[in-house]
Amino acid sequence: MPENPAVPLRAVCLLSGGLDSSTCLALAIRQGYECYALSIDYGQKNRVELESAARVAASLGAARHLVIAVDLRMLGQSALTSEIEVPKGRSSAEIGQGIPVTYVPARNTIFLSLALAWAEALGAADIFIGVNALDYSGYPDCRPEFIEAFERMANLGTRAGVEGPARIRIRTPLIDLTKAGIVSLAHELGLDCRLTHSCYDPGPDGRPCGECDACQLRSKGFKEAGLVDPLVS
Amino acid sequence: MPENPAVPLRAVCLLSGGLDSSTCLALAIRQGYECYALSIDYGQKNRVELESAARVAASLGAARHLVIAVDLRMLGQSALTSEIEVPKGRSSAEIGQGIPVTYVPARNTIFLSLALAWAEALGAADIFIGVNALDYSGYPDCRPEFIEAFERMANLGTRAGVEGPARIRIRTPLIDLTKAGIVSLAHELGLDCRLTHSCYDPGPDGRPCGECDACQLRSKGFKEAGLVDPLVS
């Protein structure tokens, strides 16, 4: 992490506008990076996401917020992009066991690839992604072994990786935190959690459903952190 | 490779419409795969590419040809997508030495990631890409070490990689061939090379410039294979 450098190091931060990616961006900014926030319009049903991302990026003072479109509905189905229903009311034992229908094929691989291109163009060696492999939905592309393999590949497949000046690093500061730990960190960083969203299937007014895996994980996180979620209070 | 299976195995084949990717698709079809050709509209100046790809896919009998758009001009600059001029008249000693301005940041990483998503949705374990690391432009994302690292990452970051039924394989049948070897293979497979293109900077009528790295490599390949390029004859 840069220590008050005269010229701040640049970082690309993937930002969905969810609690995790927003906390991750807040942390990168706190660590002194000049942050370039990247959101992907991939055909998600939940259009609130992109509005949340814009609000969070502005609120935290990202150097830039870019939304790039790639319609992943053309390539495969997921409950997040198609008519498949988002599961509701799963128990905490069920959440994280197996890969649920909300999985989007190769999503984080695609998102990190786009972040990698932008990082290379910006001269940024660091790419932040708010993945978490503890209180999570069981997606394979949130696990540390995937992130390590992506980083290795990124350094072999780019000019930046081959010629430098610095090795590309995929930064995952939340990967070992519980959801309660993420909520506490967000609180400590002063992130306004009202600006974030987490729900996989919000109502027409943007209100979280309260019953999908993401709502349940968020609710449990706030409860265990001893904090009130301003989004649902 | 499938040996006349009752149900042919599916493969996703990245297809730019260039000589290499077209030969690669022809080979995959000859090997018995049911091929899903994928082209990317990434903002390339050379719009002839996408027309070539459509013609080649139809001519070879791909099961489907999909064009997906993602505007890489938003993420960085390259002579293939911006006002930067395509270098002309470089010597064969210069071509392949260092990474030229035609390099597009993380292009093959992004293309393979999109192919990976489609492969997963189609239940295809094989992804063909016509990269070549011998008579090539010096791009880091054409080298075998990058491809191996991508394959490893792909099997860690997807449902298909984790749950099977088959390990994802990135197939690069041209990677060790000279350009003359690729031309000979294309000829042997009956590929109509008039349908393909290679030029980085064609004229307004679509005619190849004859002087960019890609034109020179193609010309050298046909010459060394003892064949006439129908595109320029």
The CA-CA-CA angle for residues B116, B125, A158, to 5°, reads: 35
Inside any domain, residue A231: no
Whether residue B109 contacts residue A153, with contact meaning beta carbons closer than 8 Å, is answered with yes
Q: Report residue B166's pLDDT band, with 50, 70 and 90 as the boundaries.
A: confident
**Average pLDDT of A142-153?**
97
- A166 within a domain of the structure (yes/no): yes
The CA distance from B55 to the nearest CA of chain A, in Å, is 21
Test mutation, B162, B168, B170, B172, chain A, max A CBs within 10 A? B162
> For residues B6 and B197, which has the higher predicted lDDT (pLDDT)?
B197
B231 located within any domain: no
Residues of chain B contacting residue A162, judged by C-beta atoms under 8 Å apart: 99, 140
Measure CB to CB from residue A75 to each of B107, B114, B145 and give the nearest one: B114
Asked whether residue B63 is assigned to any structural domain, the reply reads yes
Q: What is the CATH number of the domain that holds B23?
A: 3.40.50.620
In the chain, the amino acid numbered B62 is: A
Per the CB < 8 Å rule, is A149 touching B161? no
Among A82, A64, A85, which residue's Cα sits nearest to residue A73?
Answer: A82
Q: What is the pLDDT of residue A3?
A: 52
Residue A188, pLDDT > 80, answer yes
Q: In this complex, which of B66, B75, B149 lies closest to A68 when CB atoms are compared?
A: B75
Inside any domain, residue B187: yes
Which residues form the domain of A21?
A: 10-225
Across the interface, of A70, A118, A149, the residue whose CB is closest to B153 is: A149
Residue of B nearest to A74 (CA): B68
Q: Residue B53: enclosing H or E segment and its boundaries? A: helix B48-60
Where does the pLDDT of residue B41 fall: very low under 50, low under 70, confident under 90, or very high at 90 and above? very high
Please tell me which of the candidates B145, B149, B158 has its beta carbon nearest to residue A140. B158
Start-to-end CA span in chain B (Å): 36
**Percent of chain A residues topping a pLDDT of 70:** 97
Q: Does B176 touch chain A (CB under 8 A)?
A: no
CB contact under 8 A, B140 and A157: yes
Tally C-beta pairs within 8 A across A and B: 151
Question: Would you say A23 and A185 are in contact if contact means Cβ atoms under 8 Å apart?
Answer: yes
User: Does residue A35 lie in a domain region?
Assistant: yes
User: B15-19, B103-107, B184-188 — which is least confidently predicted?
Assistant: B103-107
Residue B155 lies in a domain: yes
Residue of B nearest to A116 (CA): B106
Which residue, among B113, B136, B140, B116, has the nearest Cα to B127 in the 3D structure? B116
Query: Residues A119-126: what's their mean pLDDT?
Result: 95
CA distance, residue B207 to nearest chain A CA (Å): 30
In this prediction, residues B60-68 reach a mean pLDDT of 98
pLDDT above 70 coverage of chain B, percent = 97
Chain B contact present for A166, CB below 8 A: no
pLDDT the model gives residue B97: 78
Task: Work out whether strand B34-41 and strand A126-128 pair parallel, antiparallel, or are unpaired.
Answer: unpaired
Tell me whether residue B204 is exposed, middle or buried, using C-beta atoms within 10 angstroms of its C-beta: 0 to 12, 13 to 18, 19 or more.
Answer: exposed
Contacts of B134 (CB under 8 A, 6+ apart): B176, B177, B178, B179
**Domain assignment present for B134:** yes
Q: How many independent structural domains does chain A possess?
A: 1
ipTM summary value:
0.93
Tell which residue, A26, A36, A221, has the closest CA to residue A130.
A26
